[in-house]
Chain A
Amino acid sequence: MRVPLAWQAGPYGRGSCAAALYLASTLSLAALSVPLLYLVLRAAGIGPLALVEVVASAQGLRVLANSLLLAAGVALVSLLIALPMAILTARTDLPWRRFWTILGVLPLAVPSYVGSFAIIAAFAPRGSYLQVLLEPFGVEELPSIIGWPGAIAGIALFTYPYLLLTLRSGLFGINPATEEAARSLGLRRRDTILRVLLPQLRPALAAGMLLVALYSLRDLGTPALMRVDTFTRVIYLQYTLSFDRNRAAALAIMLAVTVMILLWVESRTRTRAAYWSRRGTARPQPVLRLGAWKWPSVLFCAAVASLTLALPIGVSLLWFTRGVRTGALGPLHWARTLEVTVNSLSLSGLTALAVVLFALPVAILAARAPGKLTASVERFAYVAFGLPGIVVALALVFASAQFLPVLYQTQVLLLFACFVLFFPQGLGAIRATLLQLNPQLEESAASLGYGPWRTFGSVTLPLAAPGLVTGALLVFLTAMKELPATLLLAPTGYDTLATRVWKATEDVYFAEAAVYSLAIVVVCAGLILAVIRRGGAAIPVDDVPQ
């Protein structure tokens, strides 16, 4: 006998509700696969021989080496900042721990191109603040910050928070009993850090460093400003200057593959990390007394905060006031700033809305009725997370020019690119929320006579709402900072804060760049503080493990 209908997806497995969920998931899958499919198509079109030629060319190999070197440098510098900060804020009697934790996370509000612009303005060989400051001592010219040091600092200083967050949750996942055992076996407290804590932290270290490395491979702003030939910069230059589209596409494919390999390694270490660390223990973590190291530690945190927050904000403010004083900034700029800010807010807002709207159905199915469709959406989302903005943008430029010229250089295409780029982030946050929801709540509603739509409206939605808002805020935050896709896809004359910062720094209108930078940083810092206030696992700054 065949059972005609089944309770497969909890309350959501049947009827019009299921149809809507599956439709939304199918559309998401289709959207996510567009850039990937196009890249594959393009690679086939270029042909294996020509592809190998680009990859194995002197330029190809140099770009690959540069990108990997940058990624490694950024990961290392991030480690030097994040590891001490993680231990200080999670495990010691550092004064004002929560304050330093929040300051440690806030650099996420500073896009790397804003930070890099500030670094150049502060440390450039001639005319920078440092040089002007040192001029009375006979310093005519500083060693150039442009190049490797600037590129590594410009990314590491503003992406290390990802590593900091990973390390902190790794620290909270360690069972305090292991350290107590070590102490009972005769180890001094400080030795337990080296011999017990750090070895257990290794998986979190690996996962966090790979994450930071991934971000540096995707970054366009800093390598471009610091003139380091990484994939992103070379692809951008190829595309805008030489019009050798096959070369740009081949390099994009090369970058995509590099990122995917890194992503694969990252996923391997992450699952091992999850396997190693136990879920949070209720017992408080042992506190290491800093003693004489207390104030040097505070000084270290303050130094990090001044480089990552005070520097970009301070430099922007200085240029801003100088611009107002000299009349470089006038009423025309205010109107312009307002218009561009509205553009940024509406693009980010629409992206967040679209992502939540489509990620929610996928997350419901993934949490309640995992099947082939949701598994492929999740897999595609994971790969899309690895695709750098410039690759997605390039794929969409070519694809639209070839198949749908109507969409080329429209805001619709730009919104679509942002959707593809940030869908994975939204899905992750929303899925985590739904997995924490007890499915028996929905079963209770069903046993009390509620059909799928009513169950959704009266149980699932109200309970998932906080997670949805947090997910939307995170997507909003990342979309505000987005640069490469907007640069390539924005219609002529359409600007966001990010593209205005970029163009202004390119043309050395520092006062103008400062206005837009300040606007981005203020909005993003507000978003981060909002997410922190909402609590939860999105940006955890409190000591209690989740």
Chain B
Amino acid sequence: MPAGAHLSLRNVTKRFPGSARPAVDRVRMEADERAFLALLGPSGCGKTTLLRLIAGFESPDSGSIALGGRTVAGDGVWLPPERRGVGMVFQDFALFPHLTVSGNVRFGLGRHPEARWREAHVLELVGMTGLEHRYPHELSGGQQQRVALARALAPQPQVILMDEPLSNLDVQMRLRLRQELRTILKSEGVTGVLVTHDQEEALSLADWVAVMHDGRIEQMGRPEEVHEAPATRFVAAFVTQANFVDRAAAPRGLLPADAEGEVMIRREDLVLTADPGGPATVVDRQFLGRDYCYRVESPGLVLFARTPAACVLEPGMRVRPSVHPSRIRTFDQAPAETVAQI
């Protein structure tokens, strides 16, 4: 473990009573100071439990968690959440309904000598200046989320944890806050951990992305790395939404002769050429602004392709799908234990 890691988890395991497999399974993870880390995974993969373990709302069965070089859980130590200096932003905001915006933001400041200044600062940061006297029910969803963020930032926590902070907002608000969130965290210089099931959100926001599956971290890396070089089939499927084609089902000409087993072809790597004698048919077309997403079918196979807007094909047309051999990837078969459980 690098000595400089600001947040470090060592073999953290958490099993809830009555469930067969652990919710969090031997997770190792590090984040540097001021880094922004996204925990990405489908619902039920254990990412929220991992977040709650860091915050101190759950205690690990084994393994240890350290914040700023100090062990907060494990090795016989357990620090309650109020003494960890960890900010938390909840999915449904959890603003105190009996307090105003100002009361909520000041809640964690106590007798901080510069409480007034700090409050004004974080409210300005999130763009809520002037609404100090509103109550949470008088705010829109986006405004409530801003206050929740300001409240968590106010006491200058070592780490700020965010549990799907944008998922309760409508699409436009989500896109706008996504941009701001990164700017705000960077300007405050706080280490951030974001839990999300939205790959686009994770890849665009974070410095580091950790992909979780069944309680384990399958891959952790820079967003580009995870996207370009997925370590496992699960990461590839979840993060890139690529096509997986079995050799046996592939139409002629798609795969090189030496390909074996199952191969991965990214949507953007699939080339469609109009060909009346082609092996596949265009079934559906979606216009996505700058490009098209085509759904193409051949017997026993469905493929998705993202093509530049210049490539116009009509549903019903016969096409010949192809891919450059260098863009094809294969993954090892899933580990035996996973197969056994399925």
Contact = CB atoms under 8 A, between A and B. Distances in A.
A536 to B, nearest CB: 15
A463 B97 contact: yes
A1 B82 contact: no
B80 A451 contact: yes
A451 B82 contact: yes
A449 B82 contact: yes
Contacts of B81: 7, 11, 443, 446-447
Interface in B68-86: 73-78, 80-86
A441 interface: yes
A456 to B, nearest CB: 13
Contacts of A458: 107
B331 interface: no
A447 B92 contact: no
A441 B82 contact: no
A447 B85 CA distance: 7
Interface stretch (B58-66, B195-203, B254-262): B58-66
Interface residues of B, number: 36
Contact of A447 (B55, B62, B77): B55
Given A441-B96, A449-B155, A463-B98, A3 B90 contact: no
B2 interface: no
Interface in A1-31: 1-7, 10-11, 14
B97 A444 contact: no
Nearest to B98: A462
Nearest to B53: A7
A5 B79 CA distance: 8
A518 B108 CA distance: 52
B211 to A, nearest CB: 26
A444 B59 contact: no
A446 B96 contact: no
B152 interface: yes
Contacts of A447: 55-56, 81-82, 84, 86-88, 108, 152, 157
B93 to A, nearest CB: 9
Contacts of A302: none
Nearest to B64: A1
A148 interface: no
Contacts of B84: 447
A129 interface: no
A449 B96 contact: no
Given A448-B155, A449-B83, A463-B98, A443 B61 contact: no
A3 B80 contact: no
Contacts of A10: 57
A199 to B, nearest CB: 37
A541 B94 CA distance: 30
A450 interface: yes
Nearest to A458: B107
Interface in B18-71: 55-62
B90 A444 contact: yes
Interface residues of A, number: 27
A461 to B, nearest CB: 10
A438 interface: yes
Interface string A409-448: 0000000000000000000000000000010110111111
Nearest to B79: A5
Interface in B81-116: 81-88, 90, 92, 94, 96-98, 107-108, 110
A68 interface: no
Given A1-B74, A443-B88, A447-B152, A7 B82 contact: no
A446 B155 CA distance: 12
B24 to A, nearest CB: 14
B94 A441 contact: yes
A441 B157 CA distance: 18
B306 interface: no
A479 B77 CA distance: 50
A451 B336 CA distance: 47
Contact of B59 (A7, A449, A459): A7
Contacts of B146: none
B78 A4 contact: yes
B151 interface: yes
A3 B155 contact: no
Nearest to B84: A447
Given A3-B78, A5-B78, A451-B82, A446 B56 contact: yes
A173 to B, nearest CB: 25
B155 to A, nearest CB: 6
A467 to B, nearest CB: 13
Contacts of A7: 56-59, 80-81
A462 B157 CA distance: 26
A206 B273 CA distance: 69
**Which of A6, A7, A445 has most chain B Cβ within 10 Å?**
A7
A462 to B, nearest CB: 5
Which of B55, B74, B76, B94 has the most chain A CB atoms closer than 10 A to its own CB? Answer: B94
B82 A3 contact: no
Contacts of A446: 56-57, 80-82
Nearest to A1: B62
B88 to A, nearest CB: 4
Contacts of A3: 59-61, 73-74, 78
A6 B88 contact: no
Contacts of B80: 5, 7, 14, 446, 451
B98 A448 contact: no
Contact of B94 (A1, A440, A449): A440
14 contacts: A1-B74, A1-B76, A7-B58, A7-B80, A443-B55, A444-B88, A446-B82, A447-B86, A447-B88, A448-B82, A448-B151, A449-B82, A449-B110, A451-B82
Give me the 9 closest cross-chain CB pairs, A-B, nearest first: A448-B108, A440-B94, A446-B81, A447-B88, A6-B59, A3-B59, A5-B78, A446-B82, A440-B90
Given A5-B78, A6-B78, A445-B107, 10 more contacts: A3-B78, A4-B76, A5-B59, A438-B92, A443-B55, A443-B90, A447-B82, A447-B87, A447-B108, A450-B82
Interface of A: 1-7, 10-11, 14, 438, 440-441, 443-451, 455, 458-459, 462-463
